[in-house]
Amino acid sequence: TNNPRIRFAKSIPDYVARWLATEFLTEDDRRAIGLEGPAAEGGSGPGSAPAAAAKPAATQTVKFETKPLDAFVAAPPSRGGVSEDSPSCHVCGGIMVRSGTCYACTVCGAT
C-alpha cells in the first residue's frame, strides 16, 4: 500500500482493520496481535528470518472420555408447535402454530 504504516493488506476490509489498529491501539497491543515487529514484515522481505528458525509452539495432549452411544437419550423431533389440526394462514396459506389461545403464522406473522 502507499501507507508507510501499513505495508501490505490482503483485501479492503483487511486494510481498514489494520488502519483502525494503527490509529486506535497502543504499540503493545499492535505488537501482541502481530501488526508491528517481525511478524508484521510478512516474512518475504530481504531481512526476514526463515520459517524453520522460528521457535515451535508448545504442544499439549488432551484426553477425552468417550461414552457408548446407548448412554445418550435421543429427544423426539420438535414439531415447532404445529399440531395435526393447525389451520392454514388466511393471508399466505402457511401452516399456523399455537400461540397461547390463538394461532400465529410463522411465514408472514399473521394471527
Q: Residue 45 pLDDT > 70, yes or no?
A: no
C-alpha cell belonging to residue 85:
389440526
Q: Residue 51 pLDDT > 60, yes or no?
A: no
- Residue 50 confidence class, pLDDT cut points 50, 70, 90: very low
* Residue 104 phi, psi dihedral angles, 5° rounding: -130, 145
Domain map (residue ranges) of the chain: 1-43, 81-111
Output the pTM of the full model.
Answer: 0.33
Q: Residue 29 pLDDT > 60, yes or no?
A: yes
Query: What is the residue type of 4?
Result: P
Q: How far is CA 98 from CA 76, 77, 82, 87, 92, in A?
A: 19, 17, 7, 10, 17
For residue 74, the model assigns a pLDDT of 62
Q: How far is CA 47 from CA 34, 51, 56, 72, 104, in A?
A: 17, 12, 20, 57, 67
